[in-house]
């Protein structure tokens, strides 16, 4: 009974180590998922920038109308 505290201490340290490893793995998976989403968002923003660069600002100064109004 005298060494029971030692076994409890070893079990607590091992459980704490296992929880720490599991927590780091979980956090790594979350960070990797956020990185993939950010890459997708940046790709879409690049596409949008290409579309916006193709817009002629001088044509935006005229009166508002639809393409069907010109026919």
Three-state DSSP class for 44? helix
pLDDT digits (tens, 9 = 90+) for 7-58: 999 999 999 999 999 999 999 999 988 988 999 999 999 999 999 888 877 7
CA distances from 69 to 45, 55, 56, 63, 64 (A): 32, 21, 20, 11, 10
pLDDT of res. 57: 75
Task: Write down the pLDDT at residue 35.
Answer: 87
Q: What is the 3-state secondary structure (H, E, C) of 30-42?
A: HHHHHHHHHHHHH
Tracing tokens 């079990």 back to the chain, one arrives at 11
Query: What is the structure's pLDDT at 56?
Result: 77
Question: What span, in angstroms and rounded, lies between the C-alpha atoms of 27 and 29?
Answer: 5
Residue 67 has pLDDT above 70, yes or no: no
pLDDT of residue 10: 96
């Amino acid at each position: 009974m005298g060494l029971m505290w030692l076994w409890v201490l070893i079990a607590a340290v091992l459980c704490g180590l296992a929880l720490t490893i599991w927590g780091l793995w979980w956090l790594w998976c979350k960070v990797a998922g956020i990185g993939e989403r950010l890459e997708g968002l940046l790709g879409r923003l690049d596409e949008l920038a290409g579309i916006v660069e193709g817009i002629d600002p001088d044509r935006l100064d005229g009166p508002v109308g639809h393409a069907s109004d010109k026919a």
